[in-house]
Structure 1
Amino acid sequence: MPKALKASRARQASAAQARKVLQGHKENIQPTVQSGSGQSSSSGWVTRSQSGASESPEKVQKETLSLYKEQARVLLKENSHLRSERSGLLRKLQDAEADHLESAAHVKDLKDKNADLRQRATHAEDLKDENVDLWQWLHVLERRIQRLQRDNVKARIATRKKVAEVSSSEKDQNDSGYALPGREDALLATSQAYQAVGSLQLDLANLHEQAMNTIYTVVSEASARALDAEKALTDERNTSSFAVALYQEELCRVQYQVSAAISEAQITADNARSEAQDCIENFKCGLAASKAQGGYLTEALSASKATVYAFRKRCKRHPDVMARVVSKAVKKYVQESRIVRLKFKGVYTLAARMAARKLINFNVASEHIRDVFNTVAELLGVSIPPEDKMSRQTVRRAVLEGGVAAKLQVVFDIMQSEGFMISGDGTSHRHINYESNFIALSTPVYTTSSSSGPTGKAHRLRTLGVHSATNRKADTQVDGWKDLFSEFQEFYDCSPLSRRHQTIEMAEIARKLKGYFSNHAAYQKKTSRGMQDWKWDESLCDLGEDALLLKDVTKLVQILADANAAKIATVGGMEKWNLLSWDEQTVYKWLGEEVYAALSEEEKHKLDLYIWGGCCMHKDLNSFIGGNTRMTAWWLDNGVTPPVLLANKDNAAVLAGRSTTSDALTDTEKCALDSLTCGGVKTMDIGGAVFKNSDQKKGQGDSYAYRFGRRYPDTSNTRYHSHGDSACVTWAWLDDHIDFVLRMKECKANNTFTNMEKNLYNALQDPATLTEMACMVLYTQTVSEPYLKIVRGPGSEGLNQLDLGPFHEEVKTHIKMLIEDPDLVLAEDARPELATLDVADWAYPEAVHTIQQRASEMPYLRPVFVAFLSGALETWNRFTSEFKSGEIDKATEEDRALAWMPATNDHNEGALGSLPALPPKQAQCRAAFLQFTSDTFMDKMLVHEDFDFIRREACKLESRGLEKQHRQAQVDHEHMLEDPRRRKEAEKRRKLAEKAEKLAGILEVHRQLDGNQDMPKKSHLKNKAEKVAVLKHVVRHYLAKYPKSDGKWLEDMGIGIETDENSDADMYGTDGSDNEDEGDE
């Protein structure tokens, strides 16, 4: 447990104990107030011990009250000081919390870490509440002291009056006692005494009034009677002595009554005096009990003072304590905020995985990802724990997860779209075939600014990966597409995303397939037809399945039986029926055909919609090839001297010193001459090899760049219009290139050309070669360059191939215009806006102007250029046949939007051209995640269970060993191809062995019959002379044995034989005269 947390809990415990003590003190000093007869009384309480009990109560109470008032003022002053300190602490706390709120983007991860600081803030609030309670309690205490003071004054006045009245009363009072068992009984007795004194006072006043009233009445009556008696006595005295006696008797009676009234009043006074005395005694007992209780209160007050003192010291230390606590909390927070955690509960977070994938897309090696993380952390002033550093294997797994998410996204996009198009291309790399697969569709657009879900739709190209293939056949590619769609469908149906939305079927994928896009190769067109057949079969099966589901069970059984019987009869019986595949036997297609026949024309058109499109880049490439073919044939067709021959090193050695007339050439020289090439295209190949060789150790790459300030176009690789660009560059600075080639020779020690350099030098000075190069330049500047700028330049990303039919008609019209009027380009004042397809300036104005100025040096430039344009136009007509009177021409605007396809096949070409050294699955996942923008899709559409599913699938994908399976499939395919060949070769060898064995036996019999068994073996003959001698001996032996032949068969073969042995030296002499015979031989 942290020290700060322990200190906080200790302070909370001490505060609770202080509150408990204060509450006890409140209960101990709580006065008892009772109302009665309009008067209130309160028990007195003192602050002195029992030793001070001899002092008068009034003085003790007065001193106690003054002391309490002084203490109350001190406490109020201290409380005010504490409140000011508390306000300062609160301000500091608020500043600390403000600093905490301003600490950057880690507040979410650091909430748990800030709990300790919040507990201390809560403790400060508790102290605040305690201070407020203490202040309120002091105010209550002061008010009670004032009320007690007033009550005591009233009690003293009432007591003095009662005592005076009781002392003056002469009546006896009855005894009555009061028990004081405790503090509460004393307080109750005191209260009752005060009540009794009050009631006695009232009774005494009433008795006194009654007695005075009685005495007054008796005296008044006596006086009245005395007056009456005196008057009567006077009257009687005058009349009779009897009246005197009556008067005396009445006087006695009156005196008796007065005495009785006086006695009764005296008795009443004595009783009141006795009761007053009892009340005084009870009051004294209560006062003694109050004094005893005052001792306890004094002790409680001392404890309260100690507690207040402790609180005062604690509050005095509180700013420093809080400063230390806040400083520790801030320091701890800063230390923890400088640690970036890549893991949560042992698993790398989504943000860490996403960052790794993005760095991989930035071409950061997987083994350097952790170094990049550490470098960025150091730059930001934070650190990454060693246990959170990402390994190479984790990075690879994160890349696979990105590929899995991209696969999930592409199926989800197919479900959201109404139609899509697929495209493919193939190549071979290190004797392994690879196929690139893409899909084009209208996809939802996910942006980081939107709260959730897509914000719209846009046409996008999505890669489905580059896969190895056993061969380049169309059937193999169709099977690959089917397997790919089946894999995607099964994968998506197992995902949690499909459970939240809906599943997808193969029939739905086939129904949404609207076209195929590729280059113009024959196998690619066959692949397109195969995919169209698959779409048709799946659509019919889907229609038939839906029709079966809508029928009654009994009718369904009858329909199935009738359909199977009809199909069995159609194929020619049960035996042939059993030979059919399941797809051919199924009744779905039969029912689907019936349902299809019942559809409307609009529904049929929507279901049948399938369009093939060809790459525009290949159209231009083939048109250039077609123009070059027609141009090279023009020289021979018109009997004009063609461009200079450009022989390679071997053929140049064979043809050295020979004429080009075929009659004087040997077969070897004829073969060498036939393999020679010439013309502008070959010259540009040589120029690329010399000025920019693919091997950096060869050629003049850097020297050329330093001289001309640019690199020569790369003709050694397969690149669009690279030969046209190289011709433009060469013609733009033709003299400089010739001078550069001469300087290459002069810089050598032997001052000679290599064969390639010599060919280039001769070609650059040959008028016919320069004419072909000029035609290449002019066609590139007027047609190729503007055409490529339109179909693949900036702003062509959303261009639809199916909308380019009118544009291609404009291209052909423009070429026809150039054929009719070549001066639009060849004239020195030719305007580029009239000659170029895009009505813009020349891309290489220097090259065009140089050709226009030197056109007189090339007499055949005009007809050769027209021939080039004619060949290109013919090729354009052949490669744009899908637009006119085809499916594209019949398609509506809505159909073309559904079957949207890009203008070029660059996406497949680029995927195959950038095939890296990484495993294809890793490269596929990287490309898919980068191209799909799967990070925004994952943020907007996926939840926690989807990420778990993606991690599991990536783990399965990695452990499945797909690359090993692909390699094994390739090996198995090669073995399958090799087995028939091996069997055929083994059978051939067996037949040859049997034939050789048979011939060997025949030859042995021949030798025995011939009698020439002493002829040496060929291996024993060391040189040609010995072999010739043996051969002549054999011939003479044969002529001697068969003289009738006369050697005519040898003469027919052109071999002359002299029978004279002496003529051997003349026939095979060593003086060089046998060269002609040897050549004939």
Structure 2
Amino acid sequence: MIAEAHTRLEMAQKQAVDAADRTASTSADVRYLKARLRALEARAQRYEALKDKLRVGSAEEKKRARTQLKKGRTFKQEIRAMVRMLLSCGCKQDRIGQVVREVAAAFGIQLDWVLSRRTVGRIALEGLVMARMQIGFELKQTQAFTMSSDSTGRRHQNYQSHHIHLKVPVGYDANSQVVFAESPTTRFVGVHLTTDHSTTTSHATWIRVYDDVMTTFNKSPLAKRTGTLDLRGICGRLRGMWGDHANNEKALSDSMRQTKYDLLLTELGEERMKMIEDDMGELEGRMQEWSAKKIADAGGIEKWNALPAAERAARDLATTAAMVQGLGVEELASMDEGERNLLTVWVWTGCCMHKDQNSFKGGNAAMTAHWKAIGAVGPIPLANKDNAAAVRKVLQPEKGDAPVTDEDIKKLEDIAFGGAKLMALAGAIFHNALDKRGQGDAHELFLEFALNEECVRRFPQTNNTRFGSHGEAAVELITHLDVYRCFMEVIRIRKVNQTYTNIEKNVNAGLHDNPTLTELAVLAIYHILITAPYM
């Protein structure tokens, strides 16, 4: 009985210990779960607070993004500058608002407005006003500048472009003196529609350009700080003109030089007039001299009195202007040579493209004539009776489809040979001005394969007006001579009858003719050493 009692006691003690262990474990679990619950509740509270904060912050940022683009009810200068940049990059005026909105959306900025076409146009006009103000300020500050222009026609409309070249102000030194850039800067001052290419029209257009700049600048705050700008001040700083070698461009340079000279004489004459105002004897003598000349030019006092009042007033003004000019001539003549040259200096420079073209043509003519002079075998002829019509279309396109006469054939045989003519014919094949003719795309694909390059330049367009195109073509043919010989063979075998056209036959023959290749090498060397660095 005692043993049985001990056994039951041990079992009861063991059950009590197990129950205590289970109770302790349950309490620990309860404490853990309570702590976990408190952590989750705190996280939920933080999440809700963060969500509210993000919601408020996002709204504020969106509002701030909208307000940063505008200042009051107008767009900020940064936006206006971006609009002008998009315009200069070729974006259409009525598409810029959409572009701005899409770009803003890509960066997470939602805009509820779009720049209208009219707003974009006004911003562009503001750019024009700012440009004229800037050019006026630079002309006011600079010590000297030159100008250049060129004219062209499109669809029976004449256009004239204008540029000025000057050292622009870049800041001020410690003494508040203007500091200029070390090298000149070219400023574009507009393209204007003109009625013709005459010197008179071009001169009047230039004066209108300067007048637009002066009008805008003189109404700006800059003019109040630096002083107004007038044509006399502009021409006083004008030192020369650049243009091509056309007669009207040279005449325009002479006309602008005369304008500069006339305004200089007027300025010097007015200064001299102020100097002699106190000397009544000299002033009276001058007035009597010019008054007598005025009456003499009219044919005497009776004819002078018979003139209408308006005519006499006009002649009085002309006489006064002539007297001032005369005083200016005397004042200019009294200066020393250095000071006089500084006021009257004028430099005219011609277009280097035309000079290089003339040099290239003259050198090529001398080279082709030298074969006979030294008694050597020259390049093969590239024109004959069978291909005269096709060759003439390339070398003499101005004759069109007119019938080819025996005289035309003889002239073509005399001129259609050598490296330059080979390049002209090659241009008609490898890069024709008309896309439907020639081997333009095939030439590009073949060179990409043969040269193992992803992108190759198209053959120089020698059958169109491109300065330096013949020299570039010579370099291209000599550099890749084997490739072009292979390409000519590919052109032939791709055809059903596997034959060349007349022009293709001549180009292929020229690529295998040593005298013709010699001329190509000479022209290529000239282009590399002279044309490329010069242009």
TM-score bucket of the superposed structures, by smaller chain: 0.7 to 0.9
Q: 1:682 aligns with which of 421, 445, 449?
A: 421
Residue of structure 2 in register with 1:354 after alignment: 81
Q: Deviations over 1:895-940 (max 9, x none)?
A: xxxxxxxxxxxxxxxxxxxxxxxxxxxxxxxxxxxxxxxxxxxxxx
Q: Distance in 2 between matches of 1:527 and 1:345?
A: 49
Give the one of 469, 474, 481 matched to 1:722: 469
**TM-score (norm: length of structure 1):** 0.38
The answer on whether the counterparts of 1:541 and 1:588 sit within 8 Å (CA) in structure 2 is: yes
In the alignment, structure 1 residue 692 sits paired with structure 2 residue 409: no
User: Counterpart of 2:407?
Assistant: 670
Amino acid in the other structure paired with 2:87: I
* Amino acid aligned to 2:131: A
> For residues 332 and 752 of structure 1, do their structure 2 counterparts lie closer, same or farther at Cα, with a shift above 3 Å needed?
closer
- Name the SS for the 1:719 alignment partner: coil
Identify the residue that residue 377 of structure 1 maps to in structure 2: 104
Amino acid at match of 1:541: T
1:417: which partner in 2? 142
Q: Is this contact kept in 1: 2:294–2:315, CA < 8 A?
A: no
Structure 1 equivalent of residue 95 of structure 2? 368
Percent identity reads 32
1:896 matched residue in structure 2: none
Matching residue of 2:42: none
Q: Which runs of 5+ in 1 are unaligned?
A: 1-321, 656-665, 793-1081
Structure 1 pair 568–454 and aligned structure 2 pair: CA distance change class (3 A): closer
1:38 match: none
**Aligned pair in 2 of structure 1 residues 572, 649: CA closer, same or farther (>3 Å)?**
farther
Checking the alignment, whether the CA contact within 8 Å between 1:424 and 1:436 is kept in structure 2 is yes
Conservation of the 8 A alpha-carbon contact between 1:424 and 1:518: yes
1:456–1:747 Cα change, 3 Å: same
SS of the residue corresponding to residue 349 of structure 2 reads strand
CA drift of 1:770 comes to 2.5
Distance 1:739 1:482, change over 3 A: same
Could you say what the CA RMSD is over the residues aligned between the two structures, in angstroms?
Answer: 3.6
* Aligned residues between the structures: 451
TM-superposed CA distance for 1:441, in Å, is 0.9
Report what 2:517 is aligned to: 770
Alignment pair present for 1:781 and 2:495: no
Tell me how far 1:531 sits from its aligned partner. Answer: 1.3
SS in 2 for 1:488: helix
Task: Select the structure with the greater relative contact order (CA < 8 A; seq sep ≥ 6).
Answer: 1
CA distance in 2, matches of 1:343, 1:718: 49
**Equivalent residue runs for 1:855-866 within 5 Å:** none
1:503, CA displacement in angstroms? 0.6
Q: Do the aligned partners of residues 580 and 518 (structure 1) sit closer, same or farther apart at CA in structure 2, a change above 3 Å counting?
A: farther
Spell out, residue by residue over 1:225-255, the C-alpha distance to the aligned partner (whole angstroms, 9 max, x if none).
xxxxxxxxxxxxxxxxxxxxxxxxxxxxxxx
Alignment of 1:908-947 (within 5 A): none
For 1:144-189, what per-residue CA distance to the aligned partner results, in whole angstroms no more than 9, with x for missing partners? Answer: xxxxxxxxxxxxxxxxxxxxxxxxxxxxxxxxxxxxxxxxxxxxxx
Following superposition, the deviation at residue 456 of structure 1 comes to: 4.7
Q: Which moved more, 1:636-645 or 1:346-355?
A: 636-645
CA contact (8 A) 1:338 1:381 kept: no
1:503 equivalent to 2:250? Answer no
3-state DSSP of counterpart to 1:646? coil
Q: Is the 8 A contact 2:241 2:348 kept in 1?
A: yes
1:390 alignment partner, SS class: coil
Stretch deviating more after TM superposition (628-637 or 457-466):
628-637
Measured in 1, the distance between the counterparts of 2:406 and 2:166 equals 58
Deviation per residue, 1:317-349 (Å, 9 max, x gap): xxxxx9999888656524423535644443333
Residues 1:601 and 1:554: Cα distance change in structure 2 (over 3 Å): closer
| One-letter code aligned to 2:158 | N
- Residues 414, 466 of structure 1: CA spacing in aligned structure 2 closer, same or farther, 3 A cutoff? same
Change (3 A) 1:419 1:563: farther
Counterpart residue identity of residue 84, structure 2: R
In structure 2, relative to structure 1, the CA distance for the partners of 1:334 and 1:432 (3 Å cut) is closer
In the TM superposition, 1:590-601 aligns within 5 A as 590-601=326-337
For residue 385 of structure 1, give the secondary structure of its aligned residue in structure 2.
coil
| Residue 444 of structure 2 corresponds to residue 705 of structure 1 | yes
* 2:348 aligned residue: 612
Secondary structure, aligned partner of 1:427: strand
TM-score of the superposed pair, with normalisation by structure 2: 0.74
Change (3 A) 1:610 1:693: same
CA 1:501–1:355: 2 relative to 1, 3 Å = same
Where in structure 2 are the equivalents of 1:983-1002 lying within 5 Å?
none
1:505: Cα distance to partner? Answer: 1.9
Q: How does 1:377-776 map to 2 (within 5 A)?
A: 377-386=104-113, 389-445=114-170, 456-458=180-182, 459-552=184-277, 555=280, 558=284, 561-565=287-291, 567-568=293-294, 573=299, 586=321, 587-635=323-371, 643-647=379-383, 652=388, 668-675=405-412, 677-678=415-416, 679-709=418-448, 710-711=456-457, 712-776=459-523
Matches within 5 A, 1:1063-1074: none
User: Take 1:523 and 1:563, find their aligned partners in 2: how far apart are those partners?
Assistant: 39
Whole-angstrom CA distance in 1 between matches of 2:106 and 2:486? 54
SS in 2 for 1:339: helix
Question: 2:291·2:319 contact (CA, 8 Å) conserved in 1?
Answer: no
1:433 and 1:582 mapped to 2: Cα distance?
Answer: 36
Amino acid aligned to 2:510: A
More helix by share: 1
| Shift, 1:537, TM fit | 0.5
Seen in structure 2, the aligned counterparts of structure 1 residues 565 and 675 have a Cα distance that, compared at 3 Å, is: farther
SS in 1 for 2:227: coil
Q: Which amino acid aligns with 1:356?
A: V
Contact 1:651 1:672 (C-alpha < 8 Å) held by counterparts: no
Amino acid at match of 1:336: K
Aligned equivalents of 1:770, 1:629: Cα separation in 2: 16
Shift of 1:631: 2.1
